[in-house]
Amino acid sequence: MTDKLIIFDTTLRDGEQSPGASMTKEEKVRIAKALERMRVDVIEAGFPIASIGDFEAVQAVAAAVKDSRICGLARALDADIDRAGEALKPANASRIHTFIATSPIHMKMKLRMEPEQVIENAVKAVKRARQYTDDVEFSPEDAGRSDPQFLCRVLEAVIDAGASTLNIPDTVGYNLPHQFGDLIKMLRNTIPNADKAIFSVHCHNDLGLAVANSLSAVINGARQVECTINGLGERAGNAALEEVVMAVRTRQDVFPCDTNIDTTQIVTASRLVSGITGFAVQPNKAIVGVNAFAHESGIHQDGVLKSRETYEIMRAEDVGWHTNRMVLGKHSGRNAFRTRLQELGIELESEAELNAAFTRFKELADKKHEVFDEDLQALISDTIDVE
């Protein structure tokens, strides 16, 4: 049987940390409802200690969403954990996600703590969080640059303290896919009580590798991926939910697991997040960019018109697009041109008329990025008038 891959969406927490992407309480609730419709398993709604507004937003999301688990972030500090516990009270199912840095540079320069103190604080934080919920996630921040043996010690201790999810963040997006996959495998094989917890990953995109690193981790045993809609997040962002989900769904020949995501909701969620944050989606963005299922070249259009699988590895409809799209431009061929005319109900009487119209179309296409339906209508009436 295929394992379940848990999708933990952090658009409302790490996504909101993108400079300029902060959201109101009402906006967070709208996005959370869209994530719930998509059947996201866990929604990280915010960082309740960060502000009164964020506390209230987590509370509102916890009250509004019933089918997804709602999570609040907390540093390994009593005040943070108590605040998260309080904000999550209205939730049907809650999780506290507590974290402390474990890399040498973070422990020395940021926390100014000895490694033993870090372990002590991590254990204390998990135990305190367990007083509010039996679902506690622990993250060793900057795990991607931490000493692997030290990571093993911290993680073994927090499992004993009651953490049921161990999230391994590549906080600064430093890892390469093979390396990150090996790290997950080593942790699972070395930590004596590893089978008592689910391994999760949280990858940043500083080198453009967040999705690749997440997928490598899944192949090596991670069963939760933390991600955001459109890859929003601190600096260059997080792993994009739509890319992780569709890679796993499309390549079931490789992955031993699958998500429960209703993929037909992806485009709607992407547009909602883009509209609310004002962060435009680049046209060539995988899955959700307007060109993700568009074909312009004549060779591709001809292939797709004969059989969509020639140039499409997924169906546009499966991720929520109405259909795939033939873009008429200077690279387009006669087959796509003729098909579009037929779709517009334009009947040309002879092959000679079609040839004349196609020549005029190519002349126009050389002057424009895209030839739209209105251009075609005008072009055809001109062609018929000329003859």
Sketch the per residue contact string, 135 through 154, with ligand KIV: x for CB under 6 A, - otherwise: ----x-x-------------
Q: Is-contact 97 139, C-beta < 8 A? A: yes
* Residue 156 is a binding residue for ligand KIV (CB under 6 A): no
Nearest approach, Cβ of residue 218 and ligand KIV (Å): 17
What is the Cα–Cα distance from 311 to 274, expressed in whole angstroms? 27
Q: How far is the CB of 277 from ligand KIV (least distance, A)?
A: 18
Q: Is 238 annotated as a binding residue?
A: yes
Region of 12-20, 180-188, 246-254, 284-292 interacting with Zn ion (CB under 5 A): 12-20
The C-alpha angle with vertex 175 and arms to 169 and 178, in degrees rounded to 5, equals 110
Residues 30 and 249: beta-carbon distance below 8 Å: no
Q: Is 202 annotated in some ligand binding site?
A: yes
Q: What minimum distance in Å lies between the beta carbon of 39 and ligand KIV?
A: 23
Task: Indicate the helix (H) or strand (E) that contains 44.
Answer: strand 42-46
| Minimum gap (Å) between residue 336 Cβ and ligand KIV | 45
Strands 224-227 and 198-203, bridge-based pairing: parallel
Query: Contact, 28 vs 39, CB < 8 A?
Result: no
With binding defined as CB under 6 A, does residue 106 bind ligand KIV?
no
Should residue 14 be labelled a site residue for Zn ion when binding is judged by CB under 5 A? yes
13 vs 300, beta carbon nearer ligand KIV? 13
Which of ligand KIV, Zn ion, none lies near 128, with the C-beta cut-off 5 to 8 A by kind? Answer: none
Q: Are 188 and 219 spatial neighbours (Cβ–Cβ below 8 Å)?
A: no
3-state per-residue secondary structure call for 137-157: EEEEECHHHCCHHHHHHHHHH
36 is a contact residue toward Zn ion (CB under 5 A): no
The yes or no reply on residue 226 touching Zn ion (CB under 5 A) is no
Is there binding between residue 202 and ligand KIV (CB under 6 A)?
A: yes
Which residue, among 362, 379, 260, has the nearest Cα to 5 in the 3D structure? 260
Could you tell me which residues are annotated as the binding site for Mn(2+)?
14, 202, 204, 238
Footprint of ligand KIV on this chain (CB under 6 A)?
14, 99, 139, 141, 167, 169, 171, 202, 204
